[in-house]
Chain A
Amino acid sequence: EAGVAQSPRYKIIEKRQSVAFWCNPISGHATLYWYQQILGQGPKLLIQFQNNGVVDDSQLPKDRFSAERLKGVDSTLKIQPAKLEDSAVYLCASSLGDTWGETQYFGPGTRLLVL
C-alpha cells in the first residue's frame, strides 16, 4: 500500500515570497491533515479536511496560510507572504477518519526554510 506522498521535499525561499506544498493521501482515506513541526517541537495541527470540506482550521494563520482539497483527494497548502517564523517541516497525514480508523499516517514532510 502506497503511503502519503508530499512534494517538494525541500524548499528555500526569501521572506515575503509565496510557496505551495502538495499532498496525496493514502487511497480511500477521507480525512486529511496538515501539521506544522517547528524544529525541536511536536507537530501542531493547522487544518483538517473531511473529504473536501474543512473540519477544523482554528490554528491556521488565515492572513497568510490557505489550503484546499479539491475533489476530496489531493491537497495543497499555501503560504503568502512567508515570514521567517514559518521555517518548519510541513507534514501531511491521512486517516480513514472513523472510530476504528483513527490511525493517522504521515508523509515524509516538506522542509521549508525562509531567509
Chain B
Amino acid sequence: GENVEQHPSTLSVQEGDSAVIKCTYSDSASNYFPWYKQELGKGPQLIIDIRSNVGEKKDQRIAVTLNKTAKHFSLHITETQPEDSAVYFCAASEGGADGLTFGKGTHLIIQP
C-alpha cells in the first residue's frame, strides 16, 4: 500500500518568513495530493490540493509543488502569520473516492 513520509515534524519560523513542508510517497498510482491544516481540538481542514497533471498550484500565500518523477510534493507558505500556527498534514490517494494515506504531520510554530 501507499506510504507517505513528511518532514520536518516541527518547524518554527519568524512571523513574515516563509515555511516549507516536504512529503514523499511510494505508490506511483497516486495522483491526488491534498494538504490539510488541523488546529487543536478540530478536524482537519483542506487548505490546498494538487492533481498529478499539474506541477504547481497557488492560492494567495499558499502554494504546492509536485514532482511525480521523484514522488515528492511540497507545501509553501509565504508571509507567515500567527494564525498559520497549526499541524499540517500531507496526504495521497489514487483520486476519485479513494481513501487518503496521511503523513505524520508537521507542527508549524510562528514566532512573533
Residues of A near any B CB (own CB < 8 A): 4, 30-31, 33, 40-45, 48, 50, 55-56, 91, 93, 95, 97-99, 102-109
Cβ of B91 under 8 Å from chain A: yes
B41 closest partner in A (C-beta): A108
The answer to whether A42 and B49 have CB atoms under 8 Å apart is no
A105: chain B residues within 8 A (beta carbon): 46
B93: chain A residues within 8 A (beta carbon): 102
Given A43-B44, A109-B43 in contact, is the A97-B34 Cβ separation under 8 Å? no
The answer to whether B97 and A31 have CB atoms under 8 Å apart is yes
The count of chain B contact residues (Cβ–Cβ below 8 Å) is: 25
Would you mind naming 6 contact pairs between A and B with Cβ atoms under 8 Å apart? Answer: A31-B97, A43-B100, A45-B100, A102-B95, A102-B96, A108-B43
A106: chain B residues within 8 A (beta carbon): 36, 43-45
The answer to whether A95 and B97 have CB atoms under 8 Å apart is yes
The answer to whether A56 and B99 have CB atoms under 8 Å apart is yes
The answer to whether A41 and B105 have CB atoms under 8 Å apart is yes
The answer to whether B97 and A97 have CB atoms under 8 Å apart is yes
The answer to whether B103 and A98 have CB atoms under 8 Å apart is no
In the bound complex, how far is the Cα of B49 from the Cα of A56, in angstroms? 23
In the bound complex, how far is the Cα of B41 from the Cα of A31, in angstroms? 24
In the bound complex, how far is the Cα of B97 from the Cα of A108, in angstroms? 21
Given A41-B105, A42-B105, A44-B102 in contact, is the A50-B97 Cβ separation under 8 Å? yes
Cβ of B72 under 8 Å from chain A: no
* Besides A95-B97, A108-B43, 4 new A-B residue pairs in contact (Cβ under 8 A), listed by A number: A40-B104, A42-B89, A102-B95, A102-B97
A108: chain B residues within 8 A (beta carbon): 41-43
In the bound complex, how far is the Cα of B102 from the Cα of A104, in angstroms? 13
The answer to whether A41 and B104 have CB atoms under 8 Å apart is yes
The answer to whether B43 and A104 have CB atoms under 8 Å apart is no
